[in-house]
Amino acid sequence: MNAIKATGLRRSYGDTEVLKGVDLTVARGTVFSLLGANGAGKTTTVKILSTLIRADGGSASVAGHDVAADPDAVRAAIGVTGQFSAVDNLMTGRENLKLMADLHHLGKADGRRRAEQLLEQFDLLDAADRSASTYSGGMRRRLDLAMTLVGSPQVIFLDEPTTGLDPRSRRAMWQIVRELVASGVTIFLTTQYLEEADELADRIAVLDQGRVVAEGTADELKRRIPGGHVLLQFTDPRHLESAQRLVGDASRDGLALRVPSDGSVGALKALLDRLDDNAVPVDSLSMHTPDLDDVFLALTGNPDKVAQR
């Protein structure tokens, strides 16, 4: 069962077509990450899926409800935490959560129970009675997400959840996201940190100039682009030349030889055996496998590349 299904989403602002037919499928209980450069249309997509704005064309359903025909049902099933937090600085953490419980008509006892449970789950009990204005960035993000969870949403839109957080707070947030997904929630994540998508996302879509230009698991996307290589370092230029003759398809970079490789152990062993059999000594080696940064740079912002696919 899909948590989100979008087909041919289109949206223009004035004469500018921002989304040019976006298709997305997100399975229930998974993390789906939408990547794209600034202005690619990520926020516009999230706004359509969370019923904040309407699409000009195409259709979408979230948690089984059509966003255009039944926006209230969609809103009841989703949570949205954005770059602009819903936290009220004048209130304490506990008061913020209780206010959300009131807004969701949870009732006094249920509301109190839910607030306490979330304070504990998000490691905010010690700070629960301090005004939110005294919270660190990481605590504020945790409170913001906790507030989203008061309504027990099935689908959560997380817009750049760790921007500006230190590495420890970022990891704490990742752990929270993993626990949410393990409990069956679906996460739609937009992020500037490709490492974050790599860590968390089951599937990733790359949005470029209003279209999805690639979609798959992080590994599938990495395999789509060239760039993996072994870097062999030499101190003696004669050894470098011998190695280059042996390997053939390699480029020189000073006293280093860059040999294209799929990064597999078998390929590395074959390369080293060949050098060894021919008594060519190598001083050191390093492996480079493409990361999501390489994927992103290869796939976005270059109209020629997009046109080739």
Region from 37-45, 140-148, 166-174, 218-226 binding ligand ATP, contact rule CB under 6 A: 37-45
Q: Is 111 in contact with 147 (CB distance < 8 Å)?
A: no
Q: Between residues 41 and 93, which has the closer beta carbon with respect to ligand ATP?
A: 41
Q: Which residues contact 78 (CB under 8 A, 6 or more apart)?
A: 50, 62, 63, 153, 154, 155, 156, 157
Residue 18: CB minimum distance to ligand ATP, A: 4
Select from 142, 148, 135 the least CA-distant residue to 170: 142
**C-alpha to C-alpha distance for 187 and 71, rounded to whole angstroms:** 19
Minimum CB separation of residue 281 from ligand ATP in Å reads 49
The nearest distance, CB 72 to ligand ATP, in angstroms, is 23
In the complex, minimum distance from the CB of residue 48 to ligand ATP, in angstroms, rounded to a whole number: 10
Task: Tell me the closest approach of the beta carbon of residue 24 to ligand ATP, in angstroms.
Answer: 14
Residue 13 or 110 with smaller CB distance to ligand ATP: 13
Rule CB under 6 A: say whether 36 interacts with ligand ATP: yes
For the chain, the 3-state helix, strand and coil shares in percent, each to the nearest 5, are 40, 25, 35
Using the contact rule CB under 6 A, the part of the chain among 39-47, 74-82, 119-127, 288-296 near ligand ATP is 39-47
- Tell me the longest C-alpha to C-alpha distance in the chain: 81
Shortest CB 44 distance to ligand ATP, Å: 3
Rule CB under 6 A: choose which of 41, 82, 153, 228 binds ligand ATP. Answer: 41
Q: Does 82 bind ligand ATP (CB under 6 A)?
A: no
Residue 161 binds ligand ATP (CB under 6 A): no
Residue-by-residue DSSP string for 162-175: TTT--HHHHHHHHH
Give the C-alpha separation, 194 to 190, whole Å.
10
Is residue 138 within the footprint of ligand ATP (CB under 6 A)?
no
Number of Cβ within a 10 Å radius of residue 231: 16
Sign of CA pseudo-dihedral 300, 302, 307, 309: negative
Our finding on whether 38 is near ligand ATP (CB under 6 A) is yes
**18 binds ligand ATP, rule: CB under 6 A:** yes
**Residue pair 191/197 in contact by the 8 Å Cβ criterion:** yes
131 CB-contact burial (10 Å; exposed 0-12 / middle 13-18 / buried 19+): middle
What is the C-alpha separation between 109 and 116, in angstroms, rounded?
A: 11
Q: How many residues bind ligand ATP (CB under 6 A)?
A: 10
54 binds ligand ATP (CB under 6 A): no
Q: How far is the CB of 287 from ligand ATP (least distance, A)?
A: 32
Q: Contact region for ligand ATP (CB under 6 A) — 38-46, 93-101, 254-262, 273-281?
A: 38-46
Binding site for ligand ATP (CB under 6 A): 13, 18, 36, 38-44
